[in-house]
Amino acid sequence: MHHYVRKGSQVLRKRGYRLTPQRHMILSVIQDAGEHLQVDEIARRVQAHNPNVSLSTIYRTLELLQKLGLIRTAHLPGDQPYYEAVSEDAHHHHLVCRHCHQTIHLDMDLLGSLHEQLQQAYGFHDVTLDLLASGCCPSCQQHFAQESQEHLPH
């Protein structure tokens, strides 16, 4: 059993829940993905192992796992949220291209002690940061530059 799934099992039991086969599969899919997944991709991967797991079970399980702090939701470009495993670090930052939606995980040290400054300035406790920055990636910049050159009069 993966470390993440084992940790999930412990958290579930500690909070009075069981590690059902469906929960185990969903935790495993998220762990093994190593990337952000939307619900439809999670469902496709889970149902490849067990076609009897319903979409409503997947939604309920994701809601529970998020409530227990085992997964996080990232609201990246698109209609649906993306899900990923929660790492040991409570802070999570993304840089997303507005055009191709390439997503880069940013260095956790990038914002320094902003969470501590927010705690001190506003009296909040256990502040976590989930930053989403957007821009135009180098590949899209190059594409748009070439496109504009092609449309210039000769």
Annotated binding site for Fe cation: 91
Element (H, E) at 74: strand 71-74
Annotated binding-site positions for Zn(2+): 97, 100, 137, 140
Per the annotation, binding residues are 91, 97, 100, 137, 140
Show the CA angle centred on residue 119, arms to residues 7 and 110, nearest 5°. Answer: 70
**3-class DSSP assignment, residue 101:** coil
Q: Give, in order, the Cα–Cα distances in Å from 95 to each of 38, 119, 142.
A: 18, 24, 18
Least Cα distance to 25 among 50, 6, 60, 4 occurs for 50
Cβ–Cβ < 8 Å for 28, 8: no
Query: If you count DSSP H runs as helices and E runs as strands, how many of each does the chain have, helices first?
Result: 6, 6
